[in-house]
Structure 1
């Protein structure tokens, strides 16, 4: 999903009565002090019911029917993802179903609901400006993990291991990722010998990977690149890249789940 295209499409919507565009930003952040008791459920119920009560009082049966069809879909979506919530839910929908955008994000929002002629994307734009298309690169000597993300959501993960005998960084398949490596980077060397040779050639080896990373950045159209790991290793990698690096995060997080890594980078 290209969020720039999504936002451009949403910006071009204009619907007149009895059709309208539904926009919802719902704060579901469990770390928010105001959400400790699951208050988002009350906010959701009240927000959805307020439009229904208004339309009932206004007496426009066709617009009320259009709204109720969307309300039902929103309730069903939230119910399906209730056990796997993030910090927010953002939904845009139209009665004709030409627009249905529903996503959970690891970014907080201010809870607000709209039923108007246009989609209200101001908060979505702010979220994108804060965390656009981003590459997060985790280094740990002979292993490098690359996380492709957008708006705090995981899009893809790639894992590379160095084969020191061929001096080639090989991407692991998903099946290989599930297995414990039996040898360091495909090498038959003893660990101490491997580390000694790696350190002696680290700069050149990271230079080799930097070209792969530049190509990834171009293909994925990253706006930001974060390097996470040992500061010296990250510096070696950055010095060999053509693409600009947004920041270096001096933390060892290669074995952390992607969600935790993205949260640490966004903090």
Structure 2
């Protein structure tokens, strides 16, 4: 999701009839009492049908043709993603195919659908103000994980682990090693021995990682940074980062599910 670029494109979009853009904010939150039976399906169908009927009655044949193509694309997206829905779906779809923005989000929206020459951005803008692009840094002794999220959706995760042999932080894909104190040789350091060594070198090792985290935050344009970990570890890592930390949470949640982390850290 490249939201900022998409927002700029949407803000500039001005079409002329018979071209139009469909704006859809759809509440699909299963925890909402009004959505217990999947009422969003009926709401979506009724909204789209009302526009189609209006265009038929107005005898806007060219616009009706374009609307039907957009409707088919929207309905296909909802059908394909029905099992992946969370709290809401936002779609912007222009009839000239210059804009297609479809996102499944963790935040609830008010259901409303528009078909007009310009997109309706009020709800999107409010969501973006409340949930901008953020970076969450999780620290757990010799392991650090970053989660980049926007509008509550996870964009990217990175893992760093300290190589005990080289004293370098390695970045890698996939979950961190289950064994603390594994070096390049693959030989496990005894836990108590590793704990003592890490405690003695913690500040120096965190200081060596901090510039990489600062660069990541700058390059990816994080608007807010949250840091979580045991008190001593989180506070030490935060003290070496040049970027401002918006919130430090003293909880060890590096191995938790990413969406759970977002709820715990950001709320």
TM-score tier by shorter-chain length is over 0.9
CA distance in 2, matches of 1:212, 1:236: 15
Residue 181 (structure 2) pairs with residue 184 (structure 1): yes
CA distance in 1, matches of 2:266, 2:241: 22
Partner of 1:263: 263
Shift, 1:256, TM fit: 1.5
Partner of 2:80: 80
CA distance in 1, matches of 2:231, 2:127: 28
CA distance in 1, matches of 2:200, 2:46: 63
CA distance in 1, matches of 2:180, 2:255: 17
Aligned pairs (5 A) from 1:72-151:
72-151=72-151
Instruction: Report if aligned partners of 2:179, 2:188 keep a CA contact under 8 Å in 1.
Output: no
Q: 1:245–1:140: structure 2 CA closer, same or farther, 3 Å change rule? A: same
CA distance in 2, matches of 1:224, 1:51: 40
Shift, 1:211, TM fit: 1.4
Partner of 1:206: 206
Residue 216 (structure 2) pairs with residue 219 (structure 1): no
TM-score w.r.t. length of structure 2: 0.93
CA distance in 1, matches of 2:112, 2:266: 23
Q: Which runs of 5+ in 1 are unaligned?
A: none
Local SS of the residue matching 1:31: coil
Local SS of the residue matching 1:184: coil
Shift, 1:259, TM fit: 2.0
TM-score w.r.t. length of structure 1: 0.93
CA distance in 2, matches of 1:18, 1:188: 68
Q: 1:183–1:227: structure 2 CA closer, same or farther, 3 Å change rule? A: closer
Aligned pairs (5 A) from 1:3-82:
3-82=3-82
Q: Which runs of 5+ in 2 are unaligned?
A: none
Q: 1:183–1:246: structure 2 CA closer, same or farther, 3 Å change rule? A: closer
For each residue in 1:43-91, what CA deviation from the matched residue of structure 2 results, as whole angstroms up to 9, or x when unmatched? 1111211211222222212211111111111000000000111211111
Instruction: Report if aligned partners of 1:142, 1:185 keep a CA contact under 8 Å in 2.
Output: no
Between stretches 32-41 and 141-150, larger displacement belongs to: 32-41
Partner of 1:233: 233
Q: Which runs of 4+ in 1 moved over 6 A?
A: none
CA distance in 1, matches of 2:263, 2:133: 15
Aligned length: 264
Instruction: Report if aligned partners of 2:142, 2:180 keep a CA contact under 8 Å in 1.
Output: no
For each residue in 1:103-150, what CA deviation from the matched residue of structure 2 results, as whole angstroms up to 9, or x when unmatched? 111122111100111011111111111121211111111111111222
Q: 1:128–1:209: structure 2 CA closer, same or farther, 3 Å change rule? A: same
CA distance in 2, matches of 1:200, 1:3: 43
CA distance in 1, matches of 2:155, 2:24: 23
Instruction: Report if aligned partners of 2:91, 2:100 keep a CA contact under 8 Å in 1.
Output: yes
